[in-house]
Structure 1
């Protein structure tokens, strides 16, 4: 059941780029898409907290290891949580959906999924993790894979600016995860998600006011795709990942999350008629394999002495608990 829930979450997240393309075809603007997505998700999650007050309580800390937790006031934790949405998530999502206007969903998904490797590199640089031979091989594979994805353009509509926006989205999401790691164990997942969604909706609402507003006079099909993004690819995707995470643990959940760009590429082929060249498929396989290797190492490692345990940093788990991007 835990694995099934994680795969369902990955499928819902992976479908978001497809829903975005269909929303654009229905006349929805990126500004309207983002504002409705975060506002509706915040309302739905807030209603869940009202109906089920037990969701406000934190679960057990799954990080493992002996990494010290720095003391932090409640006010600062809440401010960081709101800032994650107002600055980090709003920026990352804006970059993602701007890139989606310019390039195919399948290629965008592969470029975005370089972020777990970026998180690992950043964690090593910040002293939160160690660079082992296994991680070095995974990093090299991800780098080569990314180059193949970019250089193998042929069957897809490659757009340099779109690729730049996609990489900027991945870099922004990396910073978002690193900051989220400082508060993700201090708040209940749904509470943190509400704060992040509310912060993002607030930023996008202010931007809409400053730029003359957002056109919400959309047709029925536009609202259907917006609802799919907010409900299926945000709320349902996040909650099923939480449920799967509780049953499988962070490493297994992170490995299963690599199913996400596979779903995007498959749906893009079936629904949008997109295609990837053999070179790009090889590059995408290298990128996804490197992510799996980074997590498999954690799953197989065991150390009976907690005083000697290596500090853990779980890019996949932090991504989920701090709510998904794109």
Structure 2
């Protein structure tokens, strides 16, 4: 049951790029798409927290540096207001310019980037297996890009996609400082609230909010908020409790596969054989990195956590 919940979560996350393309086709602007997504998802998670008080309980976090409640709250809201709002803007900006399947492959370099960042920050160790996985992931990324000369490739879109991956990497590394101090659904609700606040302020400064994009647009934006945000998060947390973080992380690697399959079936997109090979290299590297995080000894400087490359509470 736990594995099925993790796979369902990955499928919901993977469908987001498809919903986004369909929302764009229905005339939904990027700013309004993000504002409705974050506001609706935050409200639904807030309702879930009211209905299920047990979702508010966080596991104890021994060995973590002391932080006041206000500091934790400020970091959580700031993650959404700055990091997640920026990452989502870059992701959906790239989605306007390039195929959803290619975007998914580029974005999914973020687990590898998180591992690199964790090593550089002294939170993790670079074992020979990890080093080999990083080389494989780099080679896979090169294959994806070097064979990306078709109509689905856009240089600016690829740049935005990499920027989204880098921003999400930073988001994860910062979230690692508070993720064990708040219940996952509480953290997600705070992050989404912060992101909604940023998008609301941006809308007010740039001419207001325009929500007259018709029922089709509302349907696809609602799918993004409900299916690819709320349902995806809740099923991930439910699966995580049953399988453990490393198994959940490995199962989450099906997310870009779901995106590629749905993009082929729904949008008529196609990846080349070389791009598929590159994507397989990247996904294989992610699996190796996640399995390694289980076996590696924890660094003495931070005994409470050695799994910063594992999936976090909020989706891309």
Relative to the length of structure 2, the TM-score reads 0.96
Kept in 1, the 8 Å contact 2:59–2:181? The answer is no
SS at match of 1:320: coil
Match of 1:34?
34
Residues 144-182 of structure 1 show CA distances to partners (whole Å, capped at 9, x for unaligned) of 000000011144511000000000000000000000000
Distance 1:175-1:309 versus aligned 2 partners, 3 A rule: closer
Match of 1:108?
103
Shift of 1:3: 0.4
Match of 2:87?
92
Shift of 1:302: 7.6
Structure 1 residue 50 corresponds to structure 2 residue 50: yes
Shift of 1:316: 5.0
Pick from 124, 132, 135 the counterpart of residue 129 of structure 1: 124
d(CA) in 2 for partners of 1:309 and 1:200? 30
Structure 1 residue 320 corresponds to structure 2 residue 312: yes
Distance 1:243-1:136 versus aligned 2 partners, 3 A rule: same
Taking the TM superposition and a 5 Å limit, the aligned residue runs for 1:106-255 are 106-255=101-250
Distance 1:280-1:213 versus aligned 2 partners, 3 A rule: same
d(CA) in 2 for partners of 1:253 and 1:220? 35
Kept in 1, the 8 Å contact 2:140–2:281? The answer is yes
The gaps in structure 2 that reach 5 residues or longer are none
Please report the RMSD computed on the Cα atoms of aligned residues, expressed in angstroms. Answer: 1.9
Kept in 2, the 8 Å contact 1:20–1:97? The answer is yes
Kept in 2, the 8 Å contact 1:154–1:277? The answer is no
Kept in 1, the 8 Å contact 2:172–2:308? The answer is yes
Moved over 6 A (4+): 305-311
Relative to the length of structure 1, the TM-score reads 0.93
Match of 2:260?
265
Kept in 2, the 8 Å contact 1:156–1:275? The answer is no
Shift of 1:48: 1.0
d(CA) in 2 for partners of 1:39 and 1:237? 16
Pick from 278, 283, 306 the counterpart of residue 283 of structure 1: 278
Shift of 1:190: 1.1
d(CA) in 2 for partners of 1:87 and 1:308? 28
Shift of 1:54: 1.9
- The number of equivalent residue pairs is 316
